[in-house]
Amino acid sequence: MEFIERRVVEEQLFGEVAFPKTLLPTAGSDGDLVKLVLTEGETLLTALGRHSALLFRGFQVNSIDDFERIVEAFACDAHPAAQGVSARAKFSDRVYSSNFSAPEYLINFHHEMSLRTNMPSKIFFYCSELSPEGGETLLVSSDVVLQRMEQRMPKFVAKAAELYLLFSMKTARDEEADSSIVINKSWKSALGTDDEAKAAKRSIRFLEEGRAEITYGPLNPIGVFGEKRAWLVPLLGFEETMENVSNKFSDGSAVPEEVLGIYKEILEENCVDIKWKKGDVLLFDNLIVQHARRPGKPPRRILVSMCK
């Protein structure tokens, strides 16, 4: 492999498997990541299957065009930025802002679009501009999360796997739409309609001030992908607090508070902070890896591209 393998301080070791795997250009190379992906793509995808996340550091990635060429070199079909509860800015056919919200807000752990029927298989992040303080991206391997959940709360996991879960989330108010908060879409923009009759065909409850609560599910919380099993439902929601989300079993009974506390501990104990450097490219398996964002200071610009 025409890369130098390095360890970052923040990485986790699960057995002998580093998470994430960090790769640098060799001393004699020109740092052209596109060229190396075209020649070493199969080896890199094998490494992704083993490590679940790859961090490319020190390569010549200086623009959105450079980033898009790297994504295209992996020859994966683009996944569209679907309607959801958070807006994105579009920079090119395949490149979007990772999130519209101001960098000082925490974004909690989640798989991208895991509440939808078809979620992206792979996510690319590109550090276009560093936050002067904070703003780290966090990763956690959901197969490890599920193993720890089965060890610490096996009855909950078994019940969730049997009954499935309902995940409910409140949308933004009309005046908050496309603002800098984390959940910044109204029910109209989230569902792509301003017709309440059409919206009512979905699992939706209309609230005051133009808000609504959308319920997803019943959801199978456990995904099986080859030899790996992953926990997929974002029990803690997407924000720092849970005031806008709730979790229930499909029979209507609530997920116990104790479960949520243990789940949060498991995430914190097993996550990795990616302390960005300008030009970094991060590739991870979205079926296995959850990501989050620590609060930071502007300017911060992390761009994203998603693959089917």
Q: What pLDDT is attached to residue 136?
A: 96
Whole-number Å distance between alpha carbons of 113 and 98:
13
Q: Residue 197 — pLDDT band, cuts 50, 70, 90? A: confident
> pLDDT tier at 172 (50, 70, 90 boundaries)?
confident
Considering only 24-33, 134-143, 258-267, 276-285, which range has the smallest mean pLDDT?
Answer: 24-33
Is residue 116 very low, low, confident or very high in pLDDT (cuts 50, 70, 90)?
A: confident
What pLDDT shows up at residue 196? 86
Give the E-state strand segments of 200-296 in sequence order: 204-206, 212-219, 222-225, 228-231, 245-249, 272-274, 281-285, 289-293
pLDDT of residue 174: 80
Which secondary-structure segment (H or E) carries 35?
Answer: helix 33-51
Angle between helices 154-163 and 142-152 (to 10 degrees): 110
Distance CA(163)–CA(1), nearest Å, equals: 46
pLDDT band at 269 (very low <50, low <70, confident <90, very high): very high
Q: Mean of the per-residue pLDDT values for the chain?
A: 91
Domains present along the chain, CATH in parentheses: 143-268 (3.60.130.10)
Whether pLDDT at 1 is above 80:
no
CA-to-CA dists, residue 64 to 118, 138, 282, 305, angstroms: 26, 22, 14, 11
pLDDT of residue 188: 84
Q: How far apart are CA 118 and CA 288, in angstroms?
A: 14
User: 79 or 175: which carries more pLDDT confidence?
Assistant: 79
At 199-234, the pLDDT tens digits run 888 889 999 888 999 999 999 999 999 999 999 999
Burial (CB count <10 Å: 0-12, 13-18, 19+), residue 284: buried
| Segment 59-104, tens digit of pLDDT | 999 999 999 999 999 999 999 876 556 778 888 889 998 777 889 9
Over 60: is that where the pLDDT of 45 sits?
Answer: yes
Give the mean model confidence (pLDDT) for residues 6-15.
73
